[in-house]
Chains A and B, each alone.
Chain A
Amino acid sequence: MFLDNMGRRLLQGNEAIVYGALAAGCRFFAGYPITPASEISELFSRLLPQTDGTFIQMEDEIASIGAVVGASLAGAKGMTATSGPGFSLMQENLGFACVAEVPCVIVNVMRGGPSTGLPTCPSQGDVQMARWGTHGDHPIVVLAVSSVRDCFSLIIKAFNISEKYRVPVIVLSDEIVAHTRECVVLPSKEEIYVVDRIKPSVPPEWYHPYEADRREVPPMVAFGEGYRHHVTGLIHDERGYPTQNSKEIEAFHRRLTRKITLGFQEIQMTSGYFLDDAEILVIAYGSVARSALSAVQSLRDRGFKIGLVQLITLFPFPRSVVSPLLEKCRAVLVPEMNMGQISREVQRVNRTDCRVVKYNRVDGRFITPKELIKSLLKI
């Protein structure tokens, strides 16, 4: 099968997401057409039937994520892909996936918003929404891709985190990454590390669907495997039944947050460039990180002590990487294609007098290395 040996290929970001997801074991996709994410649906519709997986185009994005959560409860690894307007519609059932702890992956190929916004110009305007979009306190993991190769490997990591921690994972892409074509060398099947959800080790009569293990993650069984149990969007006790008992409610909320806290070191992912002696720092993510790397490299060539942190995980915010670096630098530039949604996180974890400088572009255009160099020279 094509997954066994993918080798060298010319792919766009959206296509790499599909190949990555299939390599991670994704066998269910439900979606609704939206630019600039449609190529993901199109390629899934061609490839999933070959892998005994299932593709379905639903009536809207609410239904799409509903079907993905349903498929996951029946044991399949599932995902959906959309852009801002569709992501808004998904927030309801995303909350369900958080509360019922159903693994699933949601790709949001960001375009300019709010509302119908700017079809189809790049943007990073959905960053805080990815974290806080669904109502109520909830754990969630948000990753950002910056290149075609990233799309392939990060979607695999997204599935792995989702399965391991029973948490929905949002992968933020943007119009630039989605539609850029690059030559990539994809790893062979043996080189890919895939994690599957942990099944209960007890017989059905002892099984409590929300009794957590030491990692605070309950083992998960699919419908139809002999472990009849209840799944609900209501706050529930260890047996999965709705509860109004304040002790059980509190325990539920604390555990949900704690399972992500316990896995924080594994979940937080960043890439560092020229950090050893850097006096000025750039913190960037998504397609902007590539412009930032180019800008930092050319300033290094000219002798400036400047470094770059590329955020791969946006939430939980990688504070244990960022905070110590801020202590060593006198200023940090945070370029974003929004009004400053990650710079506020940087400010939040800044414990020193390091100056946080925002660079925001909201005109539907891409941030170039040239303008970053100009802005860095001013600092």
Chain B
Amino acid sequence: MRISVEQIRRKYLRHDKKFPHVWCPGCGNGIVMGALLRAIDGLSLPKDEVVLASGIGCSGRMPTYLDFNTLHTTHGRALTFATGIKLAKPSLNVIAIMGDGDASAIGGNHFIHAARRNLNLTAIIINNSIYGMTGGQYSPTTPFGSKSTTSVHGHIEQAFSIAELAVTSGAGFVARSTVYHAELMAHLIEMAIEKVGFSVVEVISNCHVQYGRRNQLGGAVEMLQSYKDNAVTVKRATSLTEEELEGKITIGVLADREMPISTEEYEKVRQRAKERGGNVGC
């Protein structure tokens, strides 16, 4: 039996924090936060052993509201701080929360290398196709032809596909959901946290205020409806042609594989170094 919203609120929100939060009414970030909390609760992780690290942007504010060890870093750098925390204290469950611009533009380099390194971290990327907090400028995931405050004449660049980027970069576990599929999202986040290795969950989310409004996609309800209509499971996607997949969102587990984990490998390095022993300096 899943935990109720009221129980989540009591158990995991910071009650000494100055609410209200910064998110607009209808924002998908709250749904992601709820899914994350249900996943953490489902895994019965002690609050003291969870670290949430975020970057900058609307998504970056999420850890502030939650009663864990929380860190709000610089723009795009959440994974670098998370790497240091995990290496210094491997027993902690370190979860990075990023936005699309955060993870794939300014933090793109850190993202691909964190995936390649396969450290035991979890990255949740809220992809709303826009820089919302700064006023609706185009991001690396803004679709071709869309309008934003810096592409009023139509966007001329191709969009990144974050989850596929993570697969190619070598992440151990990669999944995608949308904010409409809240139950699935919680389940995927749970799998991601449980996975030993670098795990990524990309969540397609609605920014109806900065993105939807300018592109005639309606409000929050209409955008969520479109996620429902356009989502196809990974399994079903394999039977569809490229043309049929145009405009669709593939949801589910895209990659789940076993690869050397860098903390475990480093433990072996320590053993080897100690066996050699003595002073290996100059």
**Are chains A and B native binding partners rather than an unrelated pairing?**
yes
Cα–Cα, bound, A28→B70 (Å): 21
Cα–Cα, bound, A68→B113 (Å): 17
Question: What 1/0 flags go to B57-72 for Cβ under 8 Å of A?
Answer: 0000001100111111
Q: Is A54 part of the contact surface with B, judged by Cβ < 8 Å?
A: yes
Question: What 1/0 flags go to A220-233 for Cβ under 8 Å of B?
Answer: 00111110111111
Question: What 1/0 flags go to A79-107 for Cβ under 8 Å of B?
Answer: 00000000000001101100000000000
Cα–Cα, bound, A39→B74 (Å): 29
Binds A, one of B87-95, B224-232, B251-259: B87-95
**Known A47-B281, A232-B64; contact A223-B109, beta-carbon cutoff 8 A:** no
Q: Indicate if the CB atoms of A233 and B69 lie closer than 8 Å.
A: no
Q: Is B77 part of the contact surface with A, judged by Cβ < 8 Å?
A: yes
Q: Is B278 part of the contact surface with A, judged by Cβ < 8 Å?
A: yes
Size class of A's contact patch? 35 or more
Report 13 cross-chain contacts, Cβ distance below 8 Å, ordered by A residue.
A2-B281, A43-B281, A46-B273, A59-B110, A63-B77, A63-B109, A67-B83, A70-B83, A73-B81, A95-B74, A96-B74, A228-B67, A230-B63
Q: Is A212 part of the contact surface with B, judged by Cβ < 8 Å?
A: no
Binds B, one of A9-17, A249-257, A311-319, A330-338: A9-17
What chain B residues lie within 8 Å of A28 (beta carbons)?
84, 87-88
Q: Would you list which residues of chain A between 41 and 77 have a CB under 8 Å from chain B?
A: 43, 46-47, 49-50, 52, 54, 56, 58-60, 62-64, 66-76
Q: How many residues of B are in contact with the other chain, CB < 8 A?
A: 47
**Known A49-B266, A54-B266; contact A69-B48, beta-carbon cutoff 8 A:** no
Q: Indicate if the CB atoms of A58 and B74 lie closer than 8 Å.
A: no
Q: Is B156 part of the contact surface with A, judged by Cβ < 8 Å?
A: no
Q: Is B247 part of the contact surface with A, judged by Cβ < 8 Å?
A: no
Q: Indicate if the CB atoms of A226 and B88 lie closer than 8 Å.
A: no
Cα–Cα, bound, A346→B240 (Å): 74
Q: Indicate if the CB atoms of A223 and B92 lie closer than 8 Å.
A: yes
Q: Indicate if the CB atoms of B84 and A67 lie closer than 8 Å.
A: yes
Cα–Cα, bound, A229→B67 (Å): 8
B91 closest partner in A (C-beta):
A224
Q: Is A30 part of the contact surface with B, judged by Cβ < 8 Å?
A: yes
Cα–Cα, bound, A67→B279 (Å): 27
Minimum CB–CB distance for A179 against chain B, Å: 13
Minimum CB–CB distance for B119 against chain A, Å: 9
Question: What 1/0 flags go to B257-282 for Cβ under 8 Å of A?
Answer: 00000000010011011100111111
**Known A50-B274, A231-B72; contact A74-B83, beta-carbon cutoff 8 A:** no
What chain B residues lie within 8 Å of A365 (beta carbons)?
none
Q: Is A351 part of the contact surface with B, judged by Cβ < 8 Å?
A: no
Cα–Cα, bound, A224→B276 (Å): 33
What chain A residues lie within 8 Å of B233 (beta carbons)?
none
If A9-B282, A70-B85, A75-B89 are given as contacts, then 8 extra A-B residue pairs at C-beta distance below 8 Å, sorted by A number, are A19-B281, A50-B270, A50-B273, A66-B81, A76-B89, A223-B89, A224-B91, A228-B68
**Known A28-B88, A71-B85, A74-B92; contact A63-B72, beta-carbon cutoff 8 A:** no
Cα–Cα, bound, A225→B89 (Å): 11
Q: Indicate if the CB atoms of B70 and A230 lie closer than 8 Å.
A: yes
